[in-house]
């Protein structure tokens, strides 16, 4: 019988795991797992429990929660020499990374997919001394994901994000930055930036032509538009992942350094949660760093053997 350490955030999303936890555990047991359950008490607790699962030699770490919960568990796994495979039971408001792994949004179906899936090594993002699973971002609207109260997210879902974004339109400010990557240096003013390894961001931006294990991340930067009409067209291009827009700078890289050239700090998000306000951010792609359980590898964005 295989051993599973199951880390559960009961507060994620609309608190769906409160009703489905028993059925999900039962699904794992029926598929020959001996399950140990831990209900998270904090973000730090999630990271500590993930590290515990690695150190104790569990066969699988299952994580039920949102992308933020998964990200925190990833921190714990990355701190260990032996990295236990991670199975993701998505139960947050957006669950972007689950789509990239081919994991269904329904929790019972996700449990079944994890039980019958296979571990595949995936890239992990480095963010100075921290990590992220699929996105680090700054600028217009990124603060909405962590400033919108959890109760409001639970009730209204994506509508909460959209409403809060509308309220922030008049406050968008461009940030003077130096971007250094692969011997290139770009200095310009940007209103938004993200480095990603995912099929979608915030449930709204669909990414194209990416691989989860190629050692490269996709960087998308939006320059300051000249007028509101241009902003609207550029925003539409961003949502369509059309990087031909003249205000969008797009490239793939393993390493990039972003330096804030102004004295005014600004915030980053990592996997949809607060990521700090450091003046210099070094981002690195750790290739094939952690095994994730995926469903239908041949249909997913992995390098073909």
Residue ranges per domain, the chain?
Answer: 2-123+288-299, 132-287
- Same fold flag, 2-123+288-299 and 132-287: no
Instruction: Tell me: pLDDT of 42 over 90.
Output: no
CATH code for 2-123+288-299? Answer: 3.40.50.10330
Give the global pTM.
Answer: 0.85
Residue-wise pLDDT tens digits, 197-226: 887 676 556 667 789 999 999 999 988 777
Q: Give the residue with greater pLDDT, 142 vs 90.
A: 90
For the segment 51-70, the average pLDDT, to the nearest whole number, is: 95
* CATH number for domain 132-287, candidates 3.40.50.720, 1.20.140.10, 3.40.50.620, 2.60.200.40: 2.60.200.40
CB contact at 8 A, 177 and 259: yes
- pLDDT tens-digit series, residues 137-193: 998 755 444 444 444 444 444 444 444 444 444 567 789 999 999 999 999 999 889
- The single residue listed with the structure tokens 């990833």 is 74
């Amino acid at each position: 019988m295989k051993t599973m350490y199951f880390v559960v955030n009961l507060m994620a999303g609309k608190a769906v795991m409160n009703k489905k936890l028993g059925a999900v555990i039962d699904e794992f047991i029926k598929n020959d797992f001996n399950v140990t359950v831990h209900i998270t008490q904090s973000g730090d607790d999630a990271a500590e429990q993930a590290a515990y699962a690695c150190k104790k030699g569990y066969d699988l770490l299952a994580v039920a929660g949102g992308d933020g919960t998964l990200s925190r568990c990833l921190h714990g796994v990355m701190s260990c020499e032996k990295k236990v495979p991670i199975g993701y039971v998505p139960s947050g408001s957006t669950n972007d990374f689950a789509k990239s792994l081919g994991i269904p949004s329904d929790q019972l179906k996700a449990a079944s997919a994890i039980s019958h899936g296979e571990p595949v090594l995936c890239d992990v993002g480095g963010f100075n001394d921290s990590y992220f699973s699929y996105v680090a971002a700054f600028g217009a609207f990124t603060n909405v994901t962590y400033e919108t109260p959890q109760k409001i997210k639970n009730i209204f879902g994506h509508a909460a994000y959209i409403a809060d974004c509308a309220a922030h339109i008049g406050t968008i400010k461009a940030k003077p930055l130096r971007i250094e990557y692969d011997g290139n240096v770009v200095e310009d003013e940007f209103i938004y930036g993200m480095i990603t390894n995912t099929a979608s961001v915030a449930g709204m931006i669909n990414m194209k032509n990416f691989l989860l294990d190629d050692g490269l991340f996709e960087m998308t930067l939006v320059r300051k538009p000249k007028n509101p009409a241009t902003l609207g067209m550029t925003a539409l291009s961003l949502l369509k992942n059309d990087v031909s827009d003249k205000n969008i700078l797009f490239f793939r890289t393993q390493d990039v350094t972003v330096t804030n050239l102004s004295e005014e700090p600004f915030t980053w998000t990592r996997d949809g949660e607060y990521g700090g306000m450091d003046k210099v951010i070094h981002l690195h792609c750790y290739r094939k760093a952690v095994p994730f359980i995926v469903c239908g590898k041949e249909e997913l964005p992995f390098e073909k053997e």
